[in-house]
Amino acid sequence: MILALSNLKVWFLVLFLVATGCERGATKNNIIEMTGFSMGTSYSIKIVKQPKLSNSQSLQKQINSLLSDINQQMSTYLPESEISQFNNSRNTQWFSISPRTFAVVSEALRISKLSQGAFDITLGGLVELWGFGRKEQKKIVPNEKILEQLLNNVGYYKVELRSSTTAIRKTDSLSVIDLSGIAKGYAVDRVVEFLEGEGIENFLVEVGGEIKTRGLKNKSKPWRVAIESPISDQRSVYKVVAMTNMAMATSGDYRNFFEIDGKRYSHTLDPKTGRPIKNELASVTVLHNSCMTADALATALMVLGPKIGFDLAQKHQIAALFISRKNGKFEEKMTPQFSNLL
């Protein structure tokens, strides 16, 4: 029996206490809320009112335009996007890309090297094969021969960048890039940058569950954000984090997966095997100055697992929370950098 519990492109949801009235001292009267849909997911922006604040409708129009531009460059769902055109080009020639796409691929390759390949943007073909990509299809375990063929085209080292002309190329003409593990974090960073340029001081931006805050929510109080419990069939708060001038990203296996005969297949794939990850981790949350970096790191640590992932986080002083399933219960482990921010 096949049980598909999520076909959403939203990976992880973070519950906002600021939106539910669970935080004292804040009312909707002093908060401007904007919500919308872009990049295949939802977004939410909360701005603390201030004197001479620009018209909120005008702000949201510009934000929608910014997100649409990023989507046009990095989406695998749009056939005319830069990434789709690059993927469809079956050659190894240099391909011109925008500075935005260049920046995202550059950071993706850096995280790939740091994680020894645990984060890999060349998994696009396998993401589609497992049914977690742009095509809606029946969730089945792929044919072993086809899987191995596509695995031969995987490897972050098969992607090269040339900064002098902001160009990209692949050394394997069949490699397929998927930026879904980092692009939403990048979008959050760019929206934050835009709002700062408008002179806005206190706000929270969320795109597809990835978050970044600036300033305070209410005078001396920081934004309070709740990390969701990694349970597939319910919504509940696991831990609350007070955030000021910080980004948060979470990777987990509890929202986007399918089950066949009681066996769970997560949307997070291991680049070494081409198969859904198999470890005790339920989720990993990363705090960082850059939401793009936090986004990629959360995925990399999730793939590496509770032991190797935690060791890597400690080595590189990454603020990370690991939640594992053991004997029907959740066990947490956090790096000193994460606990110091609580």
208-259 residue pLDDT tens: 999 999 999 988 899 999 898 777 666 778 889 999 999 999 998 766 656 6
* The pLDDT of residue 23: 40
Q: What domains appear along the chain, each with residue ranges and CATH number?
A: 80-170 (1.10.3980.10)
Take residue 83 and report the two structure tokens written for it. Answer: 């990434």
C-alpha 93/C-alpha 257 separation (Å) is: 36
Backbone CA torsion sign across 129, 133, 136, 141: positive
C-alpha 326/C-alpha 254 separation (Å) is: 15
List of the chain residues with pLDDT < 50? 1-27
CB 89 within 8 A of CB 125: no
* The pLDDT of residue 238: 86
* The pLDDT of residue 236: 72
Take residue 11 and report the two structure tokens written for it. Answer: 């990976």
Give the H/E segment covering residue 291: helix 291-304
* The pLDDT of residue 87: 97
* The pLDDT of residue 171: 98
Take residue 122 and report the two structure tokens written for it. Answer: 């060349």
Q: Is 146 left (phi over 0), alpha (psi -120 to 50) or beta?
A: alpha
CB 92 within 8 A of CB 231: no
> 261 vs 4, 7, 131, 248, 264, CA distance in Å?
12, 18, 17, 34, 9
Take residue 288 and report the two structure tokens written for it. Answer: 């960082």
Reported residue count of the chain is 342
> What single DSSP character describes residue 303?
H
Rg (CA), the chain: 20
* The pLDDT of residue 1: 30
